[in-house]
Amino acid sequence: MRAPSSSRAASVVPGLVVFALVVVGLLTSASKAQDLPPPGIGVRLLEAPAELVDDPRAQVYVIDHLPPATTIERRFEVSNGEPTPFDVELYPVAADIRDEAFLADAGRRPNELATWISVEPSALTLQPGERAEVTMRIDVPADATRGEHYAVVFAERLPGGDVDGVEVATRVGLRVYLSVGPGGAPPIDFEIMSVLPSRGDDGRPRLDTLVRNTGGRAIDLSGELQLADGPGGTTTEPFDVALGTTLPPGEEGRVTTILGVDLPDGPWRADVTLRSGLVERMATARLTFPPVGETAEAVAAESTTPSRGISTAVLLGSGLGVLAVLAGIAWLVVGRGRTSAASTPVHPSGPRWPSPDPATAVMPPPPPQRTRRAELVPDPPR
């Protein structure tokens, strides 16, 4: 067999180099595309406590536990995804949890936590595509009320244009969940109590899952429902529960799942998996959906949670998570802006622009739709 000529080998090398450069360019372009600011005004958190770095809630909300007389800082980013520049004001407002939802004040009313928060800078101008880093400082006074406090830090795009002659201001914000007290953070826990099957007037089955917050921190619930052992041994694909249920400590609330209109009445075995951050709870119940327009009796749920109750996704991904954190070591920031060693802020691995939070986001109407009011855009983290 003849060895390839040196000229042929020389011609192959440049081709390989070009191919490699193309691949690198495509990967770089994809990475940049993932990191583009969202349309309009956007915010994303850049830091989380070290002990919560794997918690998906802590990567989009400010969550911490502090003793009185403590100060922390958290950095976040504000972006302009519009083709024109605009001015931005940044400020904290009061928030509360009522009727199973996290609610920010519609204006600028403060509460106790909001008076502890300052933002630097408090105003800025963003050019098209520009992103600016902002620091939120929380100074907890020595006489702070013990317990959990809620607030929102807003970035508000100042009115600079109009829609059908009406000036439109939009704002997006970061929720703040701050527990104050001595010692470690209160535990996060909840219990799945029962399920309530019904079928609406449109024929769509619905399952409401009753949950009690048995821990010492607020919970934001997400999860899935799967039906099995149905007619003919049928098993459905998992259905995502509706997002947006937030419960304070000691309160009960419902998580809703809307199912397909063609789903048979049953009987079914309903397997429910719910989570808040890293805490996951599972339960099962036998049920039958009622006729159209009716609600059946509530069915007690039996817990199927493994003894430790840690999210299976976290267990499976823990090794990959460690590698991702190591790969992103350049993002790490240690001991920044804290006068107490209660926790160490670090960058979550590979931060992405989250979708606007329905509790805090007031978004402008899309350009093709000339409407007179700003719209809420749902999608809290799963």
pLDDT given for residue 315 in this prediction:
44
The dihedral built from the CA positions of residue 324, 327, 330 and 333, taken in this order, carries a sign that is: positive
| pLDDT at position 166 | 59
Same fold, 41-185+316-346 and 190-310: yes
Is domain 41-185+316-346 annotated with CATH 3.40.50.720?
Answer: no
Question: What is the token pair recorded at 221?
Answer: 């619930």
Cα–chain-centroid distance for residue 351?
12
Mean pLDDT by 10 residues, the chain (382 residues): 50 51 48 63 91 90 96 96 94 96 95 98 96 97 97 89 60 96 95 97 96 97 96 94 95 96 95 97 97 96 80 45 39 37 48 60 41 31 50
**CATH T-level fold of 190-310:** Immunoglobulin-like (2.60.40)
Give the alpha-carbon dihedral of 275, 279, 280, 283, to 10 degrees. -100
Query: What residues does each domain of the chain span?
Result: 41-185+316-346, 190-310
pTM of the model: 0.76
Q: Would you state the pLDDT for residue 362?
A: 53
pLDDT at position 363 is 45
Per-residue burial over 355-365, b if 16 or more Cβ lie within 10 Å, else e, is ebbbbbbbbbb
CA distance 380 to 382: 7
